[in-house]
Structure 1
Amino acid sequence: MTKRFALIATVSMLVLILSACSNYQFKATTNFELDNFNVQDHRGNPVSLDDLKGEPWLAMFIYTNCPDICPPMTYNMKMIQDELIEKGIEDYKIVAFTVDPNTDSADVLTKYIGNYGVADESKWYLLNGYDPKFIEQYAKGSFKTAVVAQTENPIHANTFFLVDQNGVAVKNYNGVQSGNTEVPYDTIVSDLEALIKQGK
């Protein structure tokens, strides 16, 4: 009798856990409506904010000559995509704004992303086609983050931003492990998945 009760309790607990997972609700922590832009990606194709709407996307600021945080940020974003693929999630994009547009041409950005072995490069949009002053103003005005691009060694945050289907930045995350602060891979994937479901 005791074994049967333990089995029933275990099964009930698993049902509750699975139910909680399936009912995960995304909750926004920011509400930054992005300004429109007209730039290009690393394939040389024009990209505007309207082109990105319709699916949620993860954004970050990087540059190819970055000696410290950009390589791990890019790798961590690649790891997030690996989890998305493993879960069969497809309706998303990954967007990287270069903060060194004078150096990071389409060819340079293409070579850069090729170093990371991303599983589905078609989801990635590495953006350039603007001047340093533009990206400073855009980062500050739309993402509420500081970028110093008009310098030999650009400065930017180690942040991942989640943008919803309507072009609103709704949450941000640590993009690089810092001290005891981990990169929240599972949370990012769960948030993106929930946002996709809520938008359908």
Structure 2
Amino acid sequence: MYKKLLVPLTLIFVLMLSACGGGFKPDHKYKVDSFEFTNQNNETVTDEDLKGSIWLAQFVFTKCTTVCPPMMSNMVTLQEKLIDNNIEDYNIVSFSVDPDVDTPEELAKYLDMFSAPDESKWQMLTGYDMKTIEKIAASSFKQLVKQIPNDDQVIHGVSFGLVNQNNEVVKLYGGNEDVDYDTIVKDIKALIKEGK
């Protein structure tokens, strides 16, 4: 009698564990290239500085007339939602795709325009050449960055990249329109829990 009951109970227990213990499921594991760049405060920021925390990455530039303003606004909204959910262990990294124009001072002014609720979490990066940012975008984030000849605009990807504590890009989300804020917040919570 007990043996007959034991098999179904064990099966139910195993199924319950597998349903609960899913945890974070990455879509990718793209290793972020090593870098040493300059932020909006004229401070050096390296990939090693970001290791151990979760970060959200995007590619923008200050003279952008199309996708960057909505991306910046969407990232600010996302930060507000992270604050509402009491999430503190994260950084936001905005790589400039126009480094010749985007000095630290220009990037600081640009960030101020969007009234981010906590600018201390933002790293607006510059201090490299176009070839470097094209390579990082392609190899680390699988995104295109391409200068348009005889134009002040730059073609670039519009995804938000979620980077885990090991500096691996684990998910990419639309950052320009229809941003899935709830999923991003949920994924960040799951990654933080997994890292503890």
TM-score band, normalised by shorter chain = 0.7 to 0.9
2:52 maps to 1:73: no
Question: Deviation string for 1:30-57 (max 9, x for gaps)?
Answer: 1101110011111110011000111010
Deviation digits for residues 172-197 of structure 1 (CA, Å, limit 9, x no counterpart): 000022xxxx2101101111111011
- Determine the C-alpha separation between the residues in 2 that align with 1:149 and 1:83: 33
What is the CA RMSD across the aligned residues, in angstroms? 1.4
Correspondences of 1:10-29 after superposition (within 5 Å): 25-29=23-27
**Which of 181, 186, 192 lines up with 1:185 in the alignment?**
181
What is the alpha-carbon distance in structure 1 between the residues aligned to residue 148 and residue 97 of structure 2? 9
Instruction: Provide the secondary structure at the position in 2 that maps to 1:57.
Output: strand
Q: Kindly provide the amino acid, as one letter, of the partner of residue 153 in structure 1.
A: Q
What is the CA-CA distance between 1:143 and the residue it aligns to? Answer: 1.1
CA contact 2:148–2:155 (8 Å) conserved in 1: no
Q: Give how far 1:25 is off.
A: 2.7
Distance, in Å, in 2 between the alignment partners of 1:153 and 1:57 is 26
Aligned to 1:47: 45
Q: How many matched pairs?
A: 175
Looking at structure 1, the residues matched to 49 and 162 of structure 2 have their Cα atoms a distance apart, in angstroms, of 16
Flag structure 1 segments of 5+ consecutive residues without an equivalent.
Answer: 1-21
Amino acid at match of 1:188: I
Q: In the aligned structure 2, how far is the partner of 1:183 from the partner of 1:30? A: 19
In 2, distance between residues paired with 1:132 and 1:146? 12
Q: Does 1:175 align with 2:158?
A: no
Alignment partner, residue 135 of structure 2: 137
1:150 CA displacement: 6.5
Say which SS state the counterpart of residue 171 (structure 2) adopts. strand
**Secondary structure of the structure 2 residue equivalent to 1:64:** coil
CA offset at residue 170 of structure 1?
Answer: 0.2
Change (3 A) 1:36 1:126: same
Aligned sequence identity (%): 45
- SS of 2:191's partner is helix
2:58 maps to which of 20, 43, 60:
60
- Distance in 2, Cα, partners of 1:107 & 1:155: 23
Aligned to 1:88: 86
- Where structure 2 has 5 or more consecutive residues not aligned to the other structure, the ranges are 1-19
> Which whole-Å CA distance do the structure 1 matches of 2:183 and 2:21 have between them?
14
Match of 1:163 in 2: 163
- The 1-side partners of 2:147 and 2:25 are apart by 32
* Residue deviations 1:116-151 (CA, integer Å, cap 9, x gap): 111100000000000111101111111111111374
Tell me the distance in 2 between the aligned counterparts of 1:97 and 1:43: 14
Q: Aligned partner of 2:154: which letter?
A: P
